[in-house]
Every structure is written in C-alpha cells, then in structure tokens.
Amino acid sequence: MLEEDSFMKRLFVMVIALTVLMLVGCGKEQGTFTFLPENPQQGQEVVVKYHPKGTPLESAKTVEMLAYQFFGPEMPTVINAAMEKKEGKWTATFTPADSATLVAVNFRSGETVDNNDRQGYFIKLYDDEGNVAAGANGSLAYIFYTGAYPLDIKTDRPRALRLLNEEFAAHPGLKEKLFSLYLDLIVRTDRENGKEKVKAILDSIEALPEISLKQKELLASWYNRVGEQEKSDKYYQEVIKADPTGTFAEMRQFKEFRAYQDVNKKIAFYKNYSKNFPKGRYTDYISSVILRDLAQKKQFDVAENFISNIVLEPTATMYNSLAWDMVEEGINLNSAAQIAKKGVELARKQLDAPISEKPSYLTEAEWRERLKTPLGNILDTYGYALYKLGKKQEALPVFEEAVKIMDRKSGDVNQRYVQTLLETGNSEQALNFMKELIPAGLGFPGIEEKFKQAYAAVKGSDEDAGELLAKLQKKGKEKLFSDLKKEMIDTPAPDFTLVDMEGKDISLKDLRGKIIITDFWATWCGPCKASFPGMQKAVDKFKDDPDVEFLFINTWERGENVKENVAKFVKDHGYNFHVLFDLKSEVVSAFGVEGIPTKFVIDKKGKIRFKSVGFGGDEQKLVDELSLMIEMLK
C-alpha cells in the first residue's frame, strides 16, 4: 500500500510538472520557447527562454531575439535584444509597451531565422484584470491574414476569421477598427457566397438612421468590391466632399493620372498632385513612371530638370534610374557621370540624415543597412559611367566602395569591379578577390575566364588555373548546398488544374514523378520581369531533361484580356515559358503566396521542398541555386 501511495504521489508530481510545462511552452516542441510570467500584462517585463534543439539555430554561436509588438491591424514595432546562453538555453528579457496587445517573436543568428516553421512564436498580453488584452485576437487575426512582414508567418485565413469573431464577441467596441479586415476575410474564405454576405452587411449599415464618415468610407470601398458601382460612387463623392484632402480625394486624383498617356501631362499632374498632397502615398510611383517615360523618349535633359527642379524631395534612386539608363544607352556619358555623382552626394547626405522615418518593424541596424542600398546602387552607376568614359583608374575606388557596401552580393557589380581591376593592371588583386568570391558561392557569368586571365597574368601561365578553380568551385557548391539544405521544407503541394496558353488543362498530379518549378508572376511585377532572363537560362539548361518541368503561373493580373496580354508579353520578349493562368487567384492562395515573384520547387512525390520569394538581381546566382535544388532532389 505504501509503495502504491508513493507511486501515486510521484505520478501526481509528474502530471503537475508536465501541466506547467505545457502552459508555458509555446513552441513546435515542448520547451523550445517559453516565457514568464505565464500571463504577462501590458507593460510588464517578460523573460523569454529559447532552447534551439531541432531548430535552424541549434548550433548557433550567438542568438538575437526580435520581439514584434502589435497594437492592432497594422505594422508592428520591433524590440531586439541579444540573448545570453545559460545551461543550453538562450535567455533575454523585454518590456512590451503599455498599449501593445500581442508580441510575436523571431530568433535570429546572422541571416538564419527561426519562426517556428512559419507558425510563429506568440505571447498574448493581459490587462490589469487578468483578461486577454482587448485587440490581442484581432492582432493575431491580422498576422494570419497577411503573414505579417517581416515575420513571414504562414497565412491561415479561416483561422484569422475565427479569431476576429472571438475578438468581436469579447470586445464589440473593436468591430469598427477591424471591420474592413473582417469583410475581406469573409470574401476570401467563402468564394461562392462571400460577396453576397458582405453586401447584406453593407445594406444593413446603409439602413442606419445616421452614417458616420468612417462608415461612408467603408461603403464607398466595399460596394465597389461587391459590384455595386452606383452606390460606391455615391458614397465616394460624399466622402470627398466631407474631406477634400483625405485618402479618397487622393485616390481620385491618382486614378486620373493612370489615364494619362502624354508625359507632359503627367509632369503637370505631378506638380498639382504634390501641391495638394505634399506627403502623398503615390508620389514615388508617379515620379518613377515619369522618369521611365522620359528615358524611353531619350529626353534625359528633361528628366534631370524634373528631378532637380520639380520633385519635392529628390532621392538618390531617382538620379540612379536616370543615370543608369543613359550609361546603358551610351548617351551623353559625361552628363550621366555628373548626374550619378550628384546622386552619390545625395545618397551620402541621406544616409546621415534620412528624409523618411525608420519603419517601426525594422531594427536600427536593419534600417542602416537598408539606407546603404541606394548608395551602393548609385556608386555602381557612377563607376560604370567613368569606366565607359575610359576613366578606369577613377572608376576603381568607386566600384570598390560599391562592392563593400553591397557585401559582394551583387554579381553584376562584382563583375564590373573585376573587369576594371584587370584592365588597370591590378591582376593580383582581381585574382585574390575572385578567390574569395568563388568558395563563398558569389560568382558571376564569365568568372571562370576572368579567373584564368588573372591567374595567367600573375603566374605567367594559366596551366594550373583549372585545378585551383575546380577546388574553389567545389567549396562554393558545398557552401551553397549547405545553405540550401537548411532551407529545405517538406509540405504537400496543393493540387491544381490550370489552363495554359495553348488552351490545355495542366494538372500538378499528372506531373507526379517530375521535379516541378512553379513561378508565380504578373506582367506588372517589376522583380518578376527582372528575374525572367535568368529563368530563361534555367529553362534552356534543363530543356532536354524529361524529369524537370517549369510552370510559370500568371496570377493577380490586372485589367482585361489577360490571356491575350500575357501571351503578347511572352512573345515580345522571346521567352519560351510554359505559362498557366490562375485567373481566379485560387492557386496562388492555396500555395500561401504573399508576394511575387515566388517560386516553389516540388519533388517527384509532390512535396514542396524549396520556396524562394523575390529576386536579388543576380541572374547567374538564380540559375545556380535552381540547378542545385534540382540536383538535390534527383
């Protein structure tokens, strides 16, 4: 009997201990992520413990905690803290703001991030009475709806809708603040009847004895979404009349701009728009369109005058856009160099005194790195202008600074730097630079020939260059392999059937047994189009491989005659892509895509093994990475 009592006591203690662990453990496996107090209040210090076993940071030497505070359906505010390792666990503390409702935590070491396999690590905050803070579930709904950049959480819209309903039940007063998000989720989670449900809700608001300005804004936006254009226009006009300098008035002016074809009318529009809306949300877009149009017409002097004398707040990026077009065309190179130099001076000035505030979701270090990008780009353009002018010695330090700022990650800049080194008699420096690039997986097109050229200049012969190059390339491939292996995922790919440009139905399940590369894109997407020369190279490389299939899924396309416009785009650019049409945006949603271009590499069993978002600008790196991904899955 005593032994039975003793066993029961031990069992009771084990159950209590396990219960406590389950209460505080919120990670993908018990104990990965814990925090105290168990129900932290707003404004109360929180201790976070992180045990990285089984995570991408298992062998990390240092770990940084990024605590993203949410205050509602808006971008978060980040707190970053270095973590201290104690008994195999990393520990850090932070104090959320008094008005924060929810905290999402990422752990980072270098460029490697653990966000719980995109499921997130979350801390709900509590009020003084011990209840979940008002807005916490609403913030969580916003995260699962948007993915919450830069957290990169996997979207789950049905879950987001459930969370909003919970929020409204507990705190009805928050419904107005979260209502547009709520309507959007209804439409996106109920494709058949969602719009009718939203229309009924809008009609009930319209029937109220008094309608506030906020409600009129909602009606103007959402009646348009559900196809009630007449009602939308009515409330649109009422909102603009009540607030002639507000968001809706700005949107109306921007709509006018998009109808203009003549660049002079666009410039006149910019003057009026910037006067009415000095901090307008469309200013950068409008100026970029005008500069693009002027460059296409080769009116570079007009473009320079536009930047220098008309634009309210010129940026280095504007000067870079103009100067780069001139350098590439080889037109007025002296003028291009002067414009680029002016851009360099402005970029340095804006690096020290930014014209915009730091985004709340970036740490100070991330913000400083982002501010360096325009300087790196304009330095490259300035160096290229000097190079084309034959001023190669002057170009050398300019390229060198650009390479340093870009941390050697731009293949094009690296290539121009090496070429300039070789042509100015700095072969040994060029050789040593490439010896660093190649094993780091940072090559560029033609680097093998440049390596042999530099080797021969230094050693007197390129006889042994091939052997050394092979060793360096092997290390580069091993590094890339190691990096990609960390990024491998293992989730079932959603099945789909879409029509291609030939009118044929293409089903993913019918391609089982092949390695599939899906590329989600649109004709309006700049990074998508920038990546296509590299993607064409990849398609050409594997065109005779029966085990590899590329599918370019056109989605989120704008305007009418989508199929005709897409076919024309592909033909005009000479791409031989197998294009599929996701006209209802159902496949892009099924894959959880939050931005394009997004590529998925699917193995022969129908599992997603790699995901790549955006385009870094290096065509050769894109081809090399895709090639290695394919090789790893064979």
Confidence of residue 595 (pLDDT cuts 50, 70, 90): confident
Give strand pairing partners of 554: 521, 581
Give yes or no for residue 559 having a pLDDT over 90.
Answer: no
- Mean model confidence pLDDT for the chain: 91
- For range 604-616, the mean pLDDT: 92
Separation between Cα atoms, residue 327 and residue 334, nearest integer Å: 9
Packing angle of the helix pair 263-276, 283-296 (nearest 10 deg): 160
In angstroms, the Cα distances linking 376 to 68, 393, 595 are 29, 19, 25
Residue 197 has pLDDT above 80, yes or no: yes
Q: Which residues contact 391 (CB under 8 A, 6 or more apart)?
A: none
pLDDT at 279 over 90: no
Q: How far is CA 312 from the centre of its chain?
A: 28
Question: Is the pLDDT reported for residue 21 higher than 70?
Answer: no
Quick: pLDDT tens for 203-230: 999 999 999 999 999 999 999 999 999 9
Other residues' Cβ atoms within 10 Å of the Cβ of residue 384: 26
Q: Tokens in use for 433?
A: 């630079």
**What does the pLDDT look like over 330-357, one tens digit per residue?**
999 999 999 999 999 999 999 999 988 9
Q: Which residues pair with 47 in a beta bridge?
A: 36, 93
Identify the CA nearest to 448 among candidates 436, 458, 438, 457.
438
The pLDDT assigned to 27 comes to 35
pLDDT at 326 over 50: yes
- pLDDT at res. 31: 52
Q: ∠ CA 606-490-122 to the nearest 5 degrees?
A: 135
User: Tokens 């060029």 appear where?
Assistant: 430
H/E element, 51: none
Hey, what are 599's tokens? 């590529």
DSSP string, 269-332: HHHHHHHH-TT-TTHHHHHHHHHHHHHHTT-HHHHHHIIIII-SS--HHHHHHHHHHHHHHT-S
Residue 1 pLDDT > 90, yes or no? no
- Strands 84-86 and 89-94, by their bridges, are antiparallel
- Kindly report, residue by residue over 572-584, the tens digit of the pLDDT: 999 999 999 999 8
Residue 154's Cβ-side half-sphere holds a number of Cα atoms within 13 Å equal to: 12
Q: Could you give the C-alpha distances from 44 to 36, 100, 105, in angstroms and in order?
A: 10, 11, 16
What tens digit of pLDDT does each residue of 446-457 get? 999 999 999 999
| Helices vs. strands in the chain: H and E counts, helices first | 23, 17
Q: What is the Cα–Cα distance from 10 to 31, expressed in whole angstroms?
A: 21
Q: Are 375 and 363 in contact (CB under 8 A)?
A: no
pLDDT at 272 over 90: yes
Residue that has been written with the tokens 């004398």 in this structure: 309
pLDDT, average across residues 160-181: 95
Question: 3-state class of 492 per DSSP?
Answer: strand
Give the span between the Cα atoms of 155 and 118, in whole angstroms: 9
- Contact call for residues 137 and 167 (beta carbons, < 8 A): yes
Between CA 271 and CA 312 the distance in angstroms is 9
Number of other residues whose CB lies within 10 A of the CB of residue 629: 22
Do residues 38 and 44 touch, judged by C-beta distance below 8 A? no
pLDDT at 550 over 90: yes
Largest CA distance in the chain: 99
Query: How many whole angstroms separate alpha carbon 470 and alpha carbon 468?
Result: 5
Q: Which residues pair with 489 in a beta bridge?
A: none
Share of the chain above pLDDT 90, in %: 79
Give me the pLDDT at residue 633, please.
94
